[in-house]
Structure 1
Amino acid sequence: MPQVTDHGGGVRSIEVPIPDNPLGNTLVYVVDTDRGPVLIDTGWDDPASWDALTEGLTACGTAVAEIHGVVITHHHPDHHGLSAKVREASDAWVAMHAADIAIVRRTRETRPGRWFTYMADKLTAAGAPEEHVAPLRTARSRLPGLTPALPDREIVPGELLDLAGRRLRAVWTPGHTPGHVCLHLEERHPAQLPGNGRLFSGDHLLPRITPHIGLYEDPDDDSEPDPLGDYLDSLERIGSLEPAEVLPAHLHAFTDAPSRVRELLDHHEERLTGLLTLLSTPLTVWQVARRMEWNRPWADIPYGSRNIAVSEAEAHLRRLVKLGRAEQVPGSDPVTYTVV
């Protein structure tokens, strides 16, 4: 049986496994409402994950057929993956922020070959060696998350969601994705903990680990967003809410959100400062990624995770450029960055 935790006040969580992922699982929250249970996220689209979700709902005293609605914090497959199956089994509505709905629509409509070509070109421009890029040039299978359910409701930041008998307000927190939302349950904490209700934080605010902050991938968009800047601004907004408890999508619930926000702000400032030291010599994005500190040596990082690391390195470099602390070296190909 999957691990089910009762958080009190009509809120429970189910640990839904993520296949072949060190995170282990996604915490799917079941929120009681006057019209039936509502899920916050659903977990990865995998048979074992589906079994864990349905068995967990049974342990919660309900069933997938009774689900009234699904609120998705962001479009990643470990959160949105099972939405289609839940909707098919229950006729539940599925809600997401408009920016991430646009991503879901685009990924459903874009041919897999277009994505692989785009990724290969991005890595080449980042200075990745040909032996790393080559597998993408011949890849044919679809990537996970390219055929997710298209949501039928839009989450509007600042507004209460239509949950009968509950006060759940959407807080837009871009950074991890363009449309990531946290969900503020504006109700007294069931254990009377001091603070302002509870916060379903998705991947925005996690204990012990930092969420991936990479580039917002879009083959048809040449703009240069600043996801790290978005994330840092979003952290400040969440810290000011001062919730009594944070219910994240991974690991475990925790208190003292302002302290965790400060730790994350300090972490990214230290990382940016460390990059400036590296950039005393011009480096490509790939070279920066290889030199950055990760949770394991570069040689031990799997292929797909290296691509994620390169994206995160470029997001940090883009932030330094926007702050005027670094710049691209004119005429370099692939582009190199240096300290100003």
Structure 2
Amino acid sequence: MPQVTDHGAGVRSVAVPIPDNPLGHTLVYVVDTDRGPVLIDTGWDDPASWDALTGGLAACGTAVGEVHGVVITHHHPDHHGLSARVREASGAWVAMHAADISVVRRTRETEPGRWLAYMADKLTAAGAPEEHVAPLRAARRPRLPGLSPALPDREIVPGELLDLAGRRLRAIWTPGHTPGHVCLHLEEDHPARLPGHGRLFSGDHLLPRITPHIGLYEDPDDDTVPDPLGDYLDSLERVGGLGPAEVLPAHLHPFTDAPSRVRELLDHHEERLTGLLTLLGTPRTVWQVAERMEWNRPWADIPYGSRNIAVSEAEAHLRRLVKLGRAEAVTGSGPVTYVAV
């Protein structure tokens, strides 16, 4: 049976499974509007996920063919994956922030082999051992996530109300997890009259118990050096100031007291940055930093793909330290090493 929860006042959620992922599900929100249901995210592109989504919509008293629109919090495949199938079945519009639309377009248009070469070069520059990089160099035409979702046909403009008839849903730009991540503030009284200002669909930006991945904004054609962790920390402050009565995240469960959760996450990242400075008493590569950082399991037990994600997150933290003037790259080092200042 589909896992459907009624959150009151025309908002429900459908738990859509993520294959082989410890998170288990993406919570796809179904928001009633005067023109029909609008989805916030869609879930992973997988037959079982599609069945869960369509079954959940039926349990909500509607059907996928009646969906009026789809609002995507960010481009990751557990959020955007089924958007093309939903649009094909319903004719719904699909909306996303311009920065993530660019990522979707680039992923669709870039030759997969180029992505592999780019990833291999990035890992080599990070100091990854050759035995880790070799499978990427040997791979052929991988099936990369992000090739099948819809290219969005509407742009989410930060600060503006979305075109949802009969609802007040305002877009809040919250880069960090992705460059175009948005939270969505439902500026309506809470149905249970909880204290605070409306409800916040937080995507992956603000989650209970876990911290979202903050990695790099990868683009083979862009040589700029963004600061995604800095973006994320600034975005957290912005969301905390909204003071929503309830947060409706894309994973786990709804929760209250967003400012306290924001403070926990800010403290977590400050502690992590401080810990990295201790590691950087000795010059280390990004890979050497990643294998010494604290993760949810020992480094030896982290799977291959997850190690790549961990390296990306380690580099995001190092970039933040460099920008703050607390660390620097060692001139002439190759692969590049970093040291505390």
TM range (shorter): over 0.9
Amino acid at match of 2:214: I
Q: Is the 8 A contact 2:72 2:79 kept in 1?
A: yes
Displacement of 1:146 after TM fit? Answer: 2.7
CA offsets per residue over residues 305-339 of structure 1, 9 Å max, x none?
00000000000000000000000000000000000
Give the drift of 1:98.
0.3
Matched, 1:337 2:332: no
Is 2:233 the partner of 1:232?
Answer: yes
How many pairs are equivalent?
340
1:121-132 → structure 2 map (5 Å cutoff): 121-132=121-132
- CA distance in structure 2 between the partners assigned to 1:38 and 1:333 by the alignment: 50
Contact 1:54 1:63 in 2 (8 A): yes
Contact 2:84 2:148 in 1 (8 A): no
Partner residue in 2 for 1:182:
183
**1:142 Cα deviation from its structure 2 partner:** 2.0
CA shift at 1:144, angstroms?
1.7
Residue 291 of structure 1 aligns to a residue whose secondary structure is coil
Q: CA deviation at 1:147?
A: 3.1
Task: Identify the residue that residue 139 of structure 2 maps to in structure 1.
Answer: 139
Task: Name the residue aligned to 1:105.
Answer: 105
Match of 1:61 in 2: 61
In the TM superposition, residue 61 of structure 1 has moved relative to its aligned partner by 0.4
The Cα shift of 1:7 comes to: 0.2
SS of aligned partner of 2:99: helix
User: For residues 311 and 84 of structure 1, what CA distance do their matches in structure 2 show?
Assistant: 29
Shift of 1:2: 1.6
* Contact in 1 for aligned 2:179/2:217 (Cα 8 Å): yes
Tell me the CA shift for residue 227 of structure 1: 0.2
If the length of structure 1 is used for normalisation, what is the TM-score? 1.00
| TM-score, reference length from structure 2 | 0.99
Q: What letter corresponds to residue 276 of structure 2 in structure 1?
A: L
Secondary structure of 1:241's match? coil
What CA distance in whole angstroms lies between the structure 1 residues aligned with 2:273 and 2:59?
45
Shift of 1:76: 0.3
Q: Residue 262 of structure 1 aligns with which residue?
A: 263
**2:48 aligned with 1:43, yes or no?**
no
Q: Distance in 2 between matches of 1:2 and 1:288?
A: 42
| Cross-structure match for 2:198 | 197
Identity in percent: 89
Runs (4+) of structure 1 moved beyond 2 Å?
none
Matched with 2:87 is 87
- Provide, for residues 164-200 of structure 1, a one-character-per-residue CA deviation record: whole Å limited to 9, x for no partner: 0000000000000000000000000000000000000
CA–CA separation in structure 2 for the residues paired with 1:177 and 1:144: 15
Structure 2: stretches of 5+ with no match in the other structure: none
Distance (Å, rounded) in 2 between the aligned partners of 1:43 and 1:147: 13
Q: Which residue of 1 aligns with 2:253?
A: 252
CA distance in 1, matches of 2:311, 2:323: 18
Deviations 1:21-64 (A, max 9, x none): 11001000000000000000000000000000000000000000
CA distance in 1, matches of 2:28, 2:99: 22
Rounded to whole Å, the distance in 1 between the matches of 2:49 and 2:148 is 17
Which consecutive unaligned segments of at least 5 residues does structure 1 have?
none
Deviations 1:124-173, CA, capped at 9 Å, x for gaps? 00000000000101212221223321000000000000000000000000
| Alpha-carbon distance in structure 2 between the residues aligned to 1:299 and 1:56 | 39
Preserved contact between residue 290 and residue 314 of structure 2 (Cα < 8 Å): yes
Q: Distance in 2 between matches of 1:259 and 1:206?
A: 12
Task: Quote the Cα distance in structure 1 between the aligned partners of 2:138 and 2:280.
Answer: 34
Matched, 1:206 2:242: no
Query: For 2:9 and 2:149, how far apart are their aligned partners in 1?
Result: 31
